[in-house]
Amino acid sequence: MSFQYVLDKGYVRLVNHMGSDLTVVNAARVSYAKESKELNDQDKRLIAFLAREGHTSPFRHAMLQFEVYAPLMVARQWWKYVIGSAHFEGTGDSLEAWNESSRRYITEEPVFYIPKAEEWRKKPENSKQGSGQAVVWELGETYTKKLMDYVESGVAIYEQALKDGICAEQARLFLPAYGMYVRWYWTASLQSVCHFLNQRLKHDAQKEIQLYAKAILELSKTCFPHALEELVDR
């Protein structure tokens, strides 16, 4: 499995990876000039020990590369993990790279995330951020239509500006931003991926990025099943 759909039009694709659970084991065993050829029960116990005791550097020798297609509101939350990257053991967010498609250079048809009537959520009762339960269907239907009309208006102006010779990097100002899908490559160490998962799989994380985190988890488990089991909170 290397691909999962998310939301209405989004997806996550596992493009590439470097290493396996054995990579983590051997990165740790090199301290004693030892190496395992095949993963065994002792190696699995070592992975559990490293995770439990916070010895995170061996997990930075394994890498994952994803292509992600998500609304901008998801991308900008995700981006925090790259700008906060560091190379210090224990920080949990090191060794990352991000390359994103740009509407300075491309003019492909814009695509937008439009929540269905039953997907609109109330503001939370006891918090200044996040969301609560679903709104009543009739209210959700109203705002789905309002958003569709808003997107349609912005796209029409954007396309007209391009036809009139306005450059793409300025014409994009007319596109409704936060729901617009963007595409990027995210390359990160196994430790960084697990740090992202531990924060964005939480019940109080924004629901949309939770769904992407679940896809990242499922795709990552195909490459590093034992490390994910130990590093990701349940």
Q: Residue 184: which residues within 8 A CB-CB, separation 6 or more?
A: 67, 68, 75, 98, 99, 100, 101
The C-alpha atoms of residue 158 and residue 127 are separated, in whole angstroms, by 37
200 is catalytic: yes
Closest CA to 181 of 121, 109, 131: 109
Domains along the chain with CATH numbers? 3-105+182-231 (3.30.1360.170), 117-174 (no CATH)
pLDDT in tens, 89-145: 444 445 678 888 887 777 788 999 999 999 999 988 777 677 888 999 999 999 999
Q: Structure tokens of 12?
A: 């996550």
Ranges of the chain whose pLDDT falls below 50: 87-93
Closest CA to 96 of 192, 20, 197: 192
Catalytic residue among 45, 183, 200, 234: 200
